[in-house]
């Protein structure tokens, strides 16, 4: 076995390991929130709602922390 073949096998193994980790996290998310029993369009609506809520929380968190540090530092 050449070095190139060994390198290719190890890089493929790393890619599959990372993909397996992502698939496990998606599976855990689906099982935790009960999304596995919903239709595709219901999952889409739920995931859209989650993304919008996360954006809202992050956006307002950044705004309020910026305002807080602005008051403290200036």
Contact 35/45 with Cβ under 8 angstroms?
Answer: no
pLDDT in tens, 21-39: 888 899 999 999 999 999 9
Q: Is the pLDDT of residue 50 over 60?
A: yes
| Model confidence, pTM | 0.62
Contacts of 30 (CB under 8 A, 6+ apart): 36, 43
Contact 46/38 with Cβ under 8 angstroms?
Answer: yes
Q: Is the pLDDT of residue 6 over 90?
A: no
Instruction: Transcribe 23-55 into DSSP letters.
Output: HHHHHHHHHHTTGGGS-HHHHHHHHHHHHHHHH
Contacts of 29 (CB under 8 A, 6+ apart): 35
Compare 4 and 48 and report the one with higher pLDDT.
48
pLDDT in tens, 51-67: 999 999 999 999 999 99
What average pLDDT does range 35-52 have in this prediction? 95
């Amino acid at each position: 076995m050449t070095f190139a073949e060994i390198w290719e096998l190890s890089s493929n193994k790393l890619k599959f390991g990372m993909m397996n980790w992502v698939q496990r996290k998606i599976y855990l998310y689906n099982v935790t929130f009960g999304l596995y029993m919903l239709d595709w369009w219901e999952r889409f609506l739920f995931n859209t709602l989650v993304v919008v809520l996360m954006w809202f929380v992050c956006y307002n968190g950044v705004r309020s922390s910026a305002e807080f540090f602005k008051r403290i530092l200036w």
